[in-house]
Amino acid sequence: MYCLRAYKFIHQKKMKKKLYCFEKKITFQKKIKYMDIAKALQKIADEMGGSFTEYSENNLIVTVPTNDGRFQGITTYILEHDGKKVLEIASRVCEADFPGIDYRKLLVMNQELTYSKIVIFDDYIQLAAEVLIEHINEVILKDIVEEIGHTADRIEFELTGKDVH
C-alpha cells in the first residue's frame, strides 16, 4: 500500500494561506518477482485445470485445456534483452509451410489480439508475447496465458483440423 500526499494552499477570507494535506491511499497489484514466475504459472495452470512443468530455471511449460477436450502447450522462457529480464511466452500453431494457410488473414487476426501476436519462428506459426518481468503481475500473466492458449488452439484447429501442439 502506498500513500500519496497532495498539498494545496487554500486562500481564506483574510488571504491567509493554510496548508492542508489530503491523503489518498492507492493499492497497486503486486509485481511478480523473478523467482515467483514459476509459482505464478503453477497457480495459473491449477486454476485453469492444466499442468505445469519446470524444465529448467529458464524454461517453464504450461499446458492448458481448451475446447472439445483439446490441450495447448505454452512455453515460457526467461531471457535477458538489453540488460533487462524478459518473459517470453509462446505456443506453436503449425508448420509455417502447412498447405492452405492464408497469411493475410493471420496478419489481420493480429489486430484482434491484446497481448500476443502471430509470428513465424523456427519454421512454425506461433502465438507469442514478450513482457519485461518488472512490469508483469499475476493478473496480466494469466490473461496472456489464456489468450495464447485459447487463440493458438483455435487457429491450429482452423488451419489443420487437428490438435497438434
pLDDT (tens digit per residue) in 117-162: 999 999 999 999 999 998 899 999 999 999 999 999 999 988 887 7
34-160: which CATH architecture?
A: 2-Layer Sandwich (3.30)
Question: Per the confidence metrics, is the pTM higher than 0.85?
Answer: no
User: Which grid coordinates are listed for 152?
Assistant: 493458438
Give CA–CA dist 135/33, Å, rounded. 10
- Length in residues, the chain: 165
* Helix, coil or strand: residue 35: helix
Per-residue pLDDT tens for 7-48?
Answer: 333 333 334 443 333 343 344 455 555 558 999 999 999 999
User: Using CB atoms within 10 A of its CB, is residue 117 exposed (0-12), middle (13-18) or buried (19+)?
Assistant: middle
Residue type (1 letter), 50: G
Instruction: Determine the pLDDT at residue 163.
Output: 65
CA angle 33, 61, 98 (to 5 degrees): 130
Boundaries of every domain in the chain? 34-160
* Contact between 4 and 26 (Cβ < 8 Å): yes
